[in-house]
Amino acid sequence: MSSLTSALELTRDKDWKSKYEITIYQMGWRLGGKTSTGRGPNDRIEEHGIHILQGWYDNTFELLKEVYAERREFNLAPECPFQEWEQGFDRNDSTFLTYQEDGKWLNWPMVFPRNPMTPGKGKLPIHYLIRKLAALGLEFIIGSPFQKVKGRETLSTKLLRKIFFRTIDPGYNPNAVSYNPKDELKTAYSMKARLKRTGTLLSFTWVILKGILKDVIDWKTFKADYSRINHLDFRVWLKKNGASEQLADSVLVRFAYTGTFANLGSGNLPGGAISAGVALQFFVQSIQYKGSFVWQFKAGTGETMISPVYEVLKHRGVNFKFFHKVEKIHYSQGTDIETITISKQVNLSVAEYVPCFKAKGFNAWPSEPLYDQINPEEVKKLKEKKINLESPWADWQPVETKDLQKGMDFDIVILGIPIGVLPQICPEIIEQKPDWKKMTSKVQTIPTQSVQFWLKPNLKELGMHLSQWGMGGKACQPNVVTYADSMYSWLDSTEVLKYENWPKDNKPGMIAYYTGSLKAELRPFSHHNFQHEENERLKKDFKTWLEQYMGYFWSDGCTNTNPNGLDLNLLLLPENASGSSDEKYNAQFFRANVSPTDHYTLSVPDSDQFRLKADQSGYKNLILTGDWINFGLNVGYIEGTIISGMQAAEVVKKG
């Protein structure tokens, strides 16, 4: 996405063709990198993981506004259900903060007050920020604005909704859901729980403020410099400023680790590691959200974000070369990169590959190549050997390899390939340039895992009534980022159902997405079965996880023999309505993101200073972009990816 952003920035001017000729080389058959999606059976949407936008991603929303406006102006996607950018999103004002106490899981619901701002350019007015902070502070003390006690709303929560949350969901009916006594335990509304949460919040706020004044503020300039504490882990920094062990292990702190896939052990830090300055800045930025805290994709990330970008770039005149893989960026002793080795993965049977097909009006990305555009003899081999052209472990030889030469094939190169791949494609540069060697050794990445379930019952039939969890109305869709390892994140994505293609007699009632960090030892690329083995390991491990944890949320979706685990017979089999529980389970979507291109870029302590900026490759004509460069708030998120793409384009423009 960072490379696509660079291309958008460079082609914004109407006379851009007088300055540049732009070609994007893409391995495999689809764009988007970690935000790409595919379409599987029944045109079901298959993601790399859970993707959402937050209301403070101003550059991301500005990009989407521009792209959607241009696409509409030139009628580039007349059948698409989303003609305006807002049509592609559901606003989600809530999240669950789940935590364990005395061996039991409890829920701390958080509802974030809306404001009338639209994400994008411009600062959030101070009075909205004050109102928001006041509302959240009261919510920590009183509880959710949708909570009930013995089936009724309390006076305090009515007041909270009226004063601070009135814009959240005007159609919310507090009497629409019946009372279930079991849910008082889940939502933890007892006086003891409220006092404990209030104490946690006050302690957290005090430690943060004290630490900022002591370690972050540069008193000579009166500016905040978060880099001053990036050599420390966030928990270590909190303890350094007086945080107790209990606070350091609280769900508020854990949120910073699980939300950035930083929760697995790192060195001598068993609870994971994230740079203190990065974590702190992320908290500070996130409270400045506009509109809603979360903007959730209504369809696939690929259809909502990547397709419009592709359509606009194609219309502007950018060249795309699919099935082209970068093999080597060769070291040069001079000031410019001179040679890049590219391999062509397949021969086409058409003049130019068209990567999308129509699904519910979208230009949708398939989960496999569109084989009718590839040489038939090669297609036969690809299918026989079940080759995945996006996998580095694929047992497949390119049909052609060629060297691109400076002055003939390129003048300037924007390198938008993830850092995990650089040791394979830039080994000579890494060996010869100390800055590259430090960066690739210090900036760490981690594999992730993703599962998607299509279930026959809907959320209520599974036993999950949102009002009984401290939430209510369409503005609150279940999502959690702090649940049990290893799949600590899950999201209700049922909204995408209307853009899939299910028959009426075999249609899901609910769709759930899961993701989390993954421990995996990568095998040599000659071990061709590695991706399949990791996917199978994920299936096995996730089944064990389900047996232990999903009953907490879906009490009516459990078996008689196991009240904690999901009844796998409730899953949907795409082909037909019948089948064994194992067949249904295996038919869901499992993805172990072990490929170096798919790894999440971490922000571990003492690594920030080793990231190179867009113009610091050591070569005048090699520009860097991606969530692994030094773009400012160096954490792996789409906003930073887009900022890095903008910075790369700016370097090109300056010459």
152 forms beta bridges with: 149
Residue 653 DSSP symbol: H
Contact at 8 Å (CB) between 294 and 52?
A: yes
Write out the DSSP string of 305-319: IIHHHHHHHHHHT-E
Q: How many other CB atoms sit within 10 Å of the CB of residue 405?
A: 11
Cα separation, 492 vs 496, in Å, equals: 10
CA distances from 206 to 209, 238, 239, 282, 284 (A): 5, 10, 12, 18, 14
Identify which has the larger pLDDT, 563 or 61.
61
- d(Cα 84, Cα 106) in Å, to the nearest integer? 39
Per cent of the chain over pLDDT 90 is: 78
DSSP codes of every residue in 341-396: EEEE---BSSSS----EEETTEEEPPSS--GGGB-HHHHHHHHHTT--TT-TT---
Helix (H) or strand (E) holding 425: helix 422-425
Report the alpha-carbon distance of residue 194 to residue 480 in Å, rounded.
20
Calculate the average pLDDT of the chain. Answer: 91
Q: Which helix (H) or strand (E) holds 55?
A: none
Contact 181, 141 (CB under 8 A): no
Tokens of 152: 């009724």
Average pLDDT over residues 473-477: 75
CB 618 within 8 A of CB 36: no
Please tell me the predicted confidence (pLDDT) of residue 636.
93
pLDDT digits (tens, 9 = 90+) for 207-248: 999 999 999 999 999 999 999 999 999 999 999 999 999 999
| Interstrand relation of 510-517 and 489-492 (parallel, antiparallel or unpaired) | antiparallel
pLDDT tens-digit series, residues 133-158:
888 877 777 777 776 666 666 666 67
Average pLDDT over residues 541-570: 94
- The pLDDT confidence band at residue 101, using thresholds 50, 70 and 90, is confident
Please give the Cα distance from 56 to 36 (Å, whole number).
22
Q: Omega of the bond prior to 227 within 30 degrees of 0, cis?
A: no
Place of tokens 């410019």: 336
Amino acid in the structure at residue 644 = S
Alpha-carbon separation of residue 642 from 9, 83, 348, 416 (angstroms): 10, 22, 31, 11
Task: State how far the Cα of 402 lies from the Cα of 396, in Å rounded to an integer.
Answer: 17
Look at residue 185 and tell me whether its pLDDT is greater than 60.
no
Average pLDDT over residues 53-77: 97
Q: How far, in Å, CA of 437 to CA of 494, rounded?
A: 45
Q: Are 46 and 40 in contact (CB under 8 A)?
A: yes
Coil vs helix vs strand at 85: helix
168 has a pLDDT exceeding 60: no
Where b means 16+ CB within 10 Å and e means fewer, 462-476 reads: bbbbbbbbbbbbebb
Beta bridge partners of 404: 340
Per DSSP bridges, beta strands 413-415 and 622-624 are: parallel
Nearest to 22 by CA among 310, 414, 417: 414
Interior angle at CA 347, CA 330 and CA 622, nearest 5: 25
CA 201 distance to own-chain centroid: 27
**In this structure, how many other beta carbons lie within 10 angstroms of the beta carbon of residue 365?**
27
Spatial separation of the C-alpha atoms in residues 347 and 609, rounded to whole Å: 43
DSSP reduced 3-state for 3: helix
- DSSP class of residue 176 equals S
Q: Which residues pair with 328 in a beta bridge?
A: 341
pLDDT confidence bin for 428, thresholds 50/70/90: very high
Is the model's pLDDT at 169 over the cut of 50? no
Which residue, among 189, 198, 200, 188, has the nearest Cα to 104 in the 3D structure? Answer: 188
| Distance separating alpha carbons of residues 585 and 574, to the nearest angstrom | 11
The set of residues, in sequence order, having a beta carbon less than 8 Å from that of 379 and lying 6+ positions away, is: 371
Alpha-carbon span 425 to 331, nearest angstrom: 10
Q: What is the residue whose two structure tokens read 């870029």?
A: 601
CA–CA dist 492, 501 (Å, integer) = 18
Q: Which percentage of the chain shows pLDDT scores above 70?
A: 92
The model's confidence at residue 470, banded by pLDDT at 50, 70 and 90, is: confident
- What are the E-state strand segments in 518-572? none
- The closest of 520, 513, 546 to 534, measured between CA atoms, is 520
- In the chain the domains, ranked by start, together with CATH numbers, are 2-58+297-428+604-654 (3.50.50.60), 94-291 (no CATH), 448-593 (no CATH)
Q: For 564-574, what is each residue's pLDDT tens digit?
A: 999 999 999 98
Instruction: Output the pLDDT for position 188.
Output: 52
Alpha-carbon gap, residue 371 to 353, rounded angstroms: 10
Strands 445-446 and 413-415: unpaired
- The pLDDT tens digits of the residues spanning 20-59 come to 999 999 999 999 999 999 999 999 999 999 999 999 999 9
CA distance 613 to 8: 20
For residue 109, name the pLDDT band (cuts at 50, 70, 90).
confident
The pTM of this model reads 0.94
Query: Residue 110: what pLDDT?
Result: 86
Residue 136 CB coordination number (10 Å) = 16
Report the C-alpha gap between 401 and 343 in whole angstroms: 4
